[in-house]
Amino acid sequence: MEASGRSRPVQTAAAAILCALSGVALVYFLFAAWHRVRYPYELEWCEGPMVDVVRRLLAGKAIYAAPSLEYTSHEYTPLYYLVAAAFSQVCGLSFFALRLVSVLSFLGALGMLAALTWRETRRRLWAFAAVGMLTATFGTLDGWFTIARTDCLLLLLFLGTIYLLREPGMGYPRAVAAGLLLFLAFFAKQSALVMAAPAMAFAVWRDGRRGIAFAGVAMSLILLSTLLLNAMTDQWYGYYIFKLIGQQKR
């Protein structure tokens, strides 16, 4: 008891330091994001081409088409472009609109991360610390959370999937919702397939038939969307999303 009493001030001080550092990381991110989102020029080389894709989408032109001197498609699934186009209808087509999608998606991902951590630990401190640890990577990742790319939307949707999967006693409605979110994560960026495999294995191991329902919904939607978009684009969708990616050397 005496040792426990002596360690309590140390634990309190450590918790206060952790909370302060997490707060600093979060405030720094919000400050940097506010300034970066409004910057009128490219923050990263891919931002200009991403705006071009959204411009093409708003003009009613195909975004998966045969390459030409005028336009070559990006190797990403279309959800980010669709969301960015909706934001552009309100904010105007600009870097700001596309970056705003990324920042809001990242803030949503932070909320999901906090909710997941709190549910696992029942400690608000650890939930806040998880948020702080992720935002603390902002500088290391060269401000990736604020640029006009698909990754933050993917992160939000995949964390939403995990949140539903971790719910105790997952029922079939929740399994179907998780499968839909996983499909949307893929529709934001196809690299979600790499993360999908362990998520599906976990769901099947933990919940049996409901896990199979989750995996079945996700894979069925992925397959159907791929077949449909391939048919609509004369197979160019599959070429950019799968074949072209497979030919890249990292």
Quickly state the pLDDT bin for 59 (edges 50, 70, 90).
very high
The yes-or-no verdict on residue 78 having pLDDT over 90 is yes
CB 210, CB 199: distance < 8 Å: no
pLDDT category, 178, cuts 50, 70, 90? very high
**Residue 227 burial (CB count, 10 A):** 12
For the cut 90, the answer to whether the pLDDT of residue 8 exceeds it is no
Work out whether the CA dihedral 193, 195, 199, 201 comes out positive or negative: positive
Question: What tens digit of pLDDT does each residue of 105-149 get?
Answer: 999 999 999 999 999 999 999 999 999 999 999 999 999 999 999
Average pLDDT, the chain: 92
Average pLDDT over residues 172-197: 95
What span, in angstroms and rounded, lies between the C-alpha atoms of 108 and 46? Answer: 23
Q: Whole-angstrom Cα distance, residue 69 to residue 83?
A: 27
* For range 220-238, the mean pLDDT: 96
